[in-house]
Amino acid sequence: MKSDYTIYKNQSHVGWNKAIAPVKTIEAGAVVTFETLDASGDQIGQHSTVSDVASLDFSKVNPVTGPVYVDGAQPSDALKLTILDFVPSGWGWTAIIPGFGLLADRFDKPALHIWKYDPKTLGPAEYGPGGRVPLKPFPGTIGVAPDEEGEQSVVNPRRVGGNMDTRDISVGTVLFLPVEVPGALLSVGDTHAAQGDGEVCGTAIESPMDVTVKIELEKDVNLQFPRFTTPGPATREIDSKGYEVTMGVGPDLMASAVNAVNNMVDFISDNYKMSPEEAYMLCSVCGSLRISEIVDAPNWIVSYYFPKAVFE
């Protein structure tokens, strides 16, 4: 897809900071392609082993490309970002990182899976004995600079976007982000070939790719948090065969989420000849956590949906 500008992957930064000088000034309405690094910042590659996970330098993780200064953007405005296209790399990785992820107490040793997929057809990527994971590229991190002094972590999502890890921000989606500083200072990175809602092990199919975005401006809308609109059904790539679903029930939503995912990891491991570690990583890239009930005090229900299409 033709772009007005390209922002290159060597024009990247780690951490949000309104003092970072923009790499490009653009006009509202421009189409911009962002080249991205993978979430490890090139520390994990196609030939990496689990030892590379154990030795990750966390000061380099989750780099984002940019920032881009949008001429005319001011606080109280919103950026309107239309996701137009992806050029995937054809490879990616998923890892268990000790101390990170929903089930960190259960999985305390590193693990790594290197994925291969067809970047042209984006057909399902093979996994383990008989698994085929449908792909849906999206930028895990897309955001603008917060109006805070000094460097802010790029790992945490915030009201101006950032590391939202929301898989439905894909081709055709229109995302609106609140602007807090002049020029907005938009950056993009952490691209994924696929992810489940929740990204439960802490990583998705982390895959470097180019992202093309149309950047428009809406004046004086005073948006409080990000919002987006999808171009059609959000999960059509995984809905066709139905789901296996496990549930967690109790007064704590986080504990219920842990229970639901733990039960699904055990179900997949027992039924599909996978180690618990393999099952946990698979859950992270294609299953989805949902709040099924949150009004019948004192107990709430969190459900974990695993698409049967992966094995059928």
Please count the other Cβ atoms lying within 10 Å of the Cβ belonging to residue 82: 17
What's phi and psi for 162, nearest 5 deg? Answer: 95, -140
Distance CA 128, CA 213 (A): 34
- b/e per residue 256-289 (b: at least 16 CB within 10 A): bbbbbbbebbebbbeebebebbbbbbbbbbbbbb
Task: Tell me which amino acid residue 292 is.
Answer: S
> Is the CATH code 3.90.1300.10 the one for domain 5-229?
no
Task: Report percent pLDDT > 70 for the chain.
Answer: 100
Q: Is the pLDDT of residue 311 over 90?
A: yes
Q: Is the pLDDT of residue 62 over 80?
A: yes
CA 25 from centroid of its chain's CA atoms: 26
pLDDT digits (tens, 9 = 90+) for 88-134: 999 999 999 999 999 999 999 999 999 999 999 999 999 999 999 99
Residues 6 or more apart whose CB falls under 8 angstroms from that of 285 comprise 94, 133, 194, 195, 196, 204, 205
Q: Is the pLDDT of residue 1 over 80?
A: no
Same fold, 5-229 and 243-310: no
Residues 6 or more apart whose CB falls under 8 angstroms from that of 270 comprise none
Which burial class, exposed, middle or buried, applies to 51 when counting CB atoms under 10 A from its CB (0-12, 13-18, 19+)? exposed
Segment 220-229 shows an average pLDDT of 98
Band of residue 183 on the pLDDT scale cut at 50, 70, 90: very high
> Is the CATH code 1.10.3720.10 the one for domain 243-310?
no
Whole-number mean pLDDT of the chain?
Answer: 97
Distance CA 3, CA 60 (A): 28
State the pTM of this model.
0.96
- Domain coordinates of the chain in residue numbers? 5-229, 243-310
CA distances from 162 to 22, 82, 235 (A): 17, 16, 22
CA atoms within 13 A on the CB side of 212: 13
